[in-house]
Amino acid sequence: MNRFRISWRHFDFWLFGVTLLLTIFGIAMVRSAIAGSPGLEGYVPRQIIFAAIGLVVTIITSVMDYHYWSSIVKPLYVITIIMLIVVFLLQQVSFGAARWINAGLVNIQPSELGKLVIILALADYFARNQNKPRDLRWILRSLLLTGGMVIWILLQPNLSTSIVLMVLWFTMLWISGLPIKYLLIFGVVGIVVAVIGFPFLEPYQQGRVINFLVPDPNATHGNTYNVDQALISIGSGGWFGMGYGHGTQVQLRFLKVRHTDFIFSAMAEEFGFVGTVIILALLAFVILRCLRAARLARDTFGALIAYGFATLIFFQSVVNIGVNLKVIPVTGLTLPFISYGGSSILSLLLGIGLVESVVLRHKPLEF
């Protein structure tokens, strides 16, 4: 019964505090980004409601022993797959893809939940098989576990989230002891899959890659226009920005999708280079605290949960910022804790709760 006893002095108040700060800042940025936009007035209250629920979920999840999730991960995995199938069958299309389940007052995005579920499922798999040989069978079983969810996300189509899940799989596979000899094989297979799979992508997905490689200087709409406006927004922010609610690109609505995919550019215009660096430093701090939780974890299952969540925040942040800076093709990945999205903020705060649960039950030896 000792593992169910917790000491709140081990609760990572720094992690929780910075997460709360980022969440509040994100709500403020969404409010500024949608100012004067007809039909978007309800986004801020919805984000506040989801954030409040998420913070309660964080505390509840922290109190729960994280080992409990190991016993229910299989039902969670099946339920998530069912929800993804429902999304595929209902086909509520937005921005060229069907990703949401309409639950009346809110839209639920199962793929956001899928990110956490796959972290739990892979952490459980690798922990249970930590003494098994690191052979192809060990690798393929974990790949099939991940692929069972990825296939339904690809069918939405949602390539960016599918890539996130594959990155989570490879990272957790590597941390679990992937032999170096398989790296070359994975590299070759990855290149072959990318080349063969490109013709099967949706036209808008192909267009994003082509526009990135060969941009049209005369484009007045679409992804090329969006990224160009994002760069203008970032450049106009200068060192200290134009001030909250005073960014011309944002307030005059030249910058599109400014409350989700391009909120980094909106932030850079209003708070400048200095303000942007501070927010990125806070995100980096959250990642480092998750890695600290992994180091202090009592067992492999807890360590992999923390490592997986740190990877999720890091990868999404890097990709979102890379898109805004035009160093990678446009994707649909949002900036963690900052971009608008009820399902996103709720799943992220649930992830923070899982990491806190690991910290609260850390191994006793600490100096």
pTM of this structure: 0.89
Tell me if 209 is assigned to some domain.
yes
* pLDDT tens, residue by residue, 73-97: 999 999 999 989 888 887 655 544 5
pLDDT for the residue numbered 218? 63
How far apart CA 331 and CA 212 sit, in angstroms, is 11
In the numeric block, the tokens 């974890």 are attached to: 297
Instruction: Read off the tokens for 247.
Output: 């960014």
User: Which of 78, 98, 84, 90 lies closest to 151, judged by CA?
Assistant: 84
**pLDDT, average across residues 15-30:** 96
AA letter at 226: N
The amino acid sitting at 342 is G
* 317 pLDDT tier (thresholds 50, 70, 90): very high
Answer yes or no: is pLDDT of 4 > 60: no
The residue-averaged pLDDT of 210-228 equals: 70
Which pLDDT band, with edges at 50, 70 and 90, does 101 fall under?
low
310 pLDDT above the threshold of 90? yes
CA-closest candidate to residue 216, choices 203, 229, 225: 225
pLDDT digits (tens, 9 = 90+) for 328-362: 888 888 999 999 988 899 999 999 999 999 999 87
Whether pLDDT at 363 is above 70 = no
Name the token pair of 244: 């909250």
Arithmetic mean of pLDDT, 172-193: 86
pLDDT tens per residue, range 107-158: 678 888 999 999 999 999 999 999 888 888 999 999 999 999 999 998 888 8
**113 is a domain residue:** yes
Instruction: Give the confidence band of 1 by pLDDT, cuts at 50, 70, 90.
Output: very low
Q: What sign has the CA pseudo-torsion 84, 85, 88, 92?
A: negative
Which stretch of 137-141, 193-197, 237-241 has the lowest confidence by average pLDDT? Answer: 193-197
Asked whether the predicted pLDDT for residue 366 surpasses 50, the reply is no
Structure confidence at residue 257 (pLDDT): 83
Cα-Cα-Cα-Cα dihedral of 164, 169, 175, 180, to 10°? Answer: -110
Over range 56-75, report the average pLDDT: 94
pLDDT band at 285 (very low <50, low <70, confident <90, very high): very high
CA distance 86 to 74: 19
Asked whether residue 298 is domain-assigned, the answer is yes
Whether residue 365 is contained in a domain is answered as no
Burial grade of 169 (CB within 10 A; 0-12, 13-18, 19 or more)? buried
Q: Give me the number of domains the chain comprises.
A: 1
Asked, for residue 235, whether it belongs to a domain, the answer is yes
pLDDT of residue 2: 46
Task: Report, as an integer, the average pLDDT of 196-201.
Answer: 75
| Coil vs helix vs strand at 47 | helix
Q: Which domain holds residue 231?
A: 2-360
Two tokens, residue 153 = 């996300």
- pLDDT for the residue 27: 95
Residue 9 domain flag: yes
11 touches 360 (CB < 8 A): yes
What's the residue count for the chain?
367
**Which DSSP state fits 3?**
G
In a domain, 366, yes or no: no
Strand partners, 94: 97
Q: What are the percentages of helix, strand and coil residues in the chain, rounded to 5?
A: 70, 0, 30
Find the mean pLDDT for residues 171-192. 86
pLDDT at 107: 66
In the chain, the percentage of residues whose pLDDT exceeds 70 is 89
Residue 367 domain flag: no
Q: Tell me, what DSSP letter sits at residue 65?
A: -
